[in-house]
């Protein structure tokens, strides 16, 4: 699932493909829970408009449209936002994938999972939003209108420091893992980066958040920022569906220490990585290195 680094990489790389270009037309799939704004209205209100700016808020992307409205996009579990020039097997259905020769690359052809297709007045590439599992969201906000999804976001995970984390963790009777995943406390962290930063900070994910010392909060905030920055640098994690807008894979999955490594040897101590459910999520940790 795209977390802060994947959404940040998407934001940075899709910007030059969206900003300043006039939308000639917008194609959508039919109305569904995916569209918080009816598709007819989206098509009508975005036609002929220019996207002025694109920013990330937690795991959300928000495009500022020239008339003051804002386009809210959430990639959900399997969302992909990319250029019509992109080629990647991750943009194909599993049946189409299996019929390909191993090294074959084919251009993208919109399929039933392609929920948005921006076509521009210039002759440049279209921009697509595809989402196989359809947990993503699209909403067009009127000028000045807010959205509860954005309003309840806590400070961005890249801005979090030790004292903030210490303050946020007091009086909370939840596991530190749950604290990291709560978007109203820290925005942008999901399962992968929560597990990875807890490992690097040497903190067990099941520890009560309010029991963390100042020093542990410092270490955890530092680990969180480092893990996120490093993932952005390497293009994010491409474990299942995630591709960058140009069709390239991220490579942070190759640097994982614990996530999805159950039973494998810890790189630090050689002991087996364990997995248990904490905050309703499969959580990976090293019982020897994390206390
Ligand atoms: Zn270990």
Catalytic residue among 56, 59, 70, 256: 59
**What does the pLDDT average to over 107-123?**
93
Burial class of 264 by CB neighbour count within 10 A (0 to 12, 13 to 18, 19+): exposed
> Which helix or strand (DSSP H or E) is residue 178 part of?
helix 176-181
* 146-157 average pLDDT score: 97
Nearest to 22 by CA among 162, 150, 127, 128: 127
Active-site choice (2, 5, 205, 245): 2
Q: Of 134, 148, 162, which is closest to residue 78 (Cα–Cα)?
A: 134
Other Cβ atoms less than 10 A from the Cβ of 239: the count is 16
Residue 281: active-site member: yes
Q: Phi and psi for 225 in degrees, rounded to 5? A: -65, -40
Q: In which band, very low, low, confident or very high, does the pLDDT at 103 lie, cut at 50, 70 and 90? A: low
Q: Write out 204-219 in H/E/C secondary structure.
A: CCCCEHHHCCHHHHHH
Rounded Cα distance between 73 and 67, Å, is 18
Task: Please say if the pLDDT value at position 106 is more than 70.
Answer: no
What b/e string do you get for 2-38 counting C-beta neighbours within 10 Å, with b at 16 or more?
bbbbbbbbbbebbbebbeebebeebebbeeeebbebe
The number of angstroms, rounded, from the C-alpha of 234 to the middle of its chain's C-alpha atoms is 14
Percent of the chain with pLDDT over 70: 97
What's the gap in Å between 257 CA and the centre of ligand 1?
Answer: 9
What is the tens place of the pLDDT at every residue in 270-288? 999 999 999 999 999 999 9
For residues 145-150, average pLDDT = 96
Tell me what pLDDT residue 15 has: 97
Determine whether 260 is exposed, middle or buried from the number of CB atoms within 10 Å of its CB (0-12, 13-18, 19+).
middle
Angle at 234 between CA 232 and CA 235, to 5 degrees: 65
> CA-CA-CA-CA torsion for 255, 261, 267, 272, nearest 10 degrees?
170
180 C-alpha to ligand 1 centroid (Å)? 21
Q: Would you call 187 exposed, middle or buried from its count of C-beta atoms within 10 A (0-12, 13-18, 19+)?
A: buried
Sheet order of strands, 23-28 included: 23-28, 114-120, 127-131, 79-83
Respond yes or no: is residue 3 known to be catalytic: yes
Residue 205: CB atoms within 10 Å: 24
Distance 271 CA to ligand 1 centre (A): 6
Identify whether 2 is a catalytic site residue: yes
The CA angle 158-287-194, to the nearest 5 degrees, is 20
Of 52, 94, 75, 88, which is closest to residue 6 (Cα–Cα)?
75
| pTM of this structure | 0.94
- Would you state the pLDDT for residue 105? 65
Note the pLDDT of residue 91.
Answer: 87
């Amino acid at each position: 699932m795209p977390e802060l680094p994947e959404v940040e990489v998407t934001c940075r790389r899709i910007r030059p493909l969206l900003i300043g270009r006039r939308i000639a037309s917008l194609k959508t799939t039919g109305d569904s829970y995916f569209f918080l704004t009816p598709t007819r209205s989206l098509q009508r209100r975005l036609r002929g408009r220019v996207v002025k700016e694109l920013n990330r808020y937690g795991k959300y992307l928000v495009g500022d449209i020239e008339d003051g409205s804002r386009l809210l996009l959430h990639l959900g579990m399997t969302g992909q936002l990319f250029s019509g020039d992109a080629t990647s097997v991750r943009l194909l259905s599993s049946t189409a994938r299996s019929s390909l020769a191993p090294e074959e690359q084919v251009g993208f052809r919109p399929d039933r999972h392609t929920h948005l297709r921006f076509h521009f007045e210039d002759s440049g590439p279209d921009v697509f939003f595809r989402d196989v599992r359809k947990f993503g969201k699209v909403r067009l906000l009127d000028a000045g209108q807010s959205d509860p999804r954005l309003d309840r976001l806590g400070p961005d995970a890249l801005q979090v420091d030790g004292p903030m984390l210490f303050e946020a963790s007091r009086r909370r009777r939840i596991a530190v893992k749950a604290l990291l995943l709560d978007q109203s406390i820290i925005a942008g962290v999901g399962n992968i980066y929560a597990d990875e930063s807890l490992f690097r900070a040497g903190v067990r994910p099941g520890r009560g958040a309010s029991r963390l010392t100042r020093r542990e909060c410092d270490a955890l905030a530092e680990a969180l920022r480092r893990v996120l920055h490093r993932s952005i640098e390497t293009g994010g994690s491409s474990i299942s569906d995630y591709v960058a807008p140009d069709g390239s894979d991220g490579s942070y999955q190759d640097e994982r220490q614990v996530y999805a490594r159950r039973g494998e040897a810890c790189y630090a101590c050689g002991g087996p990585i364990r997995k248990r459910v904490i905050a309703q999520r499969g959580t990976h940790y090293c019982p020897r290195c994390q206390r």
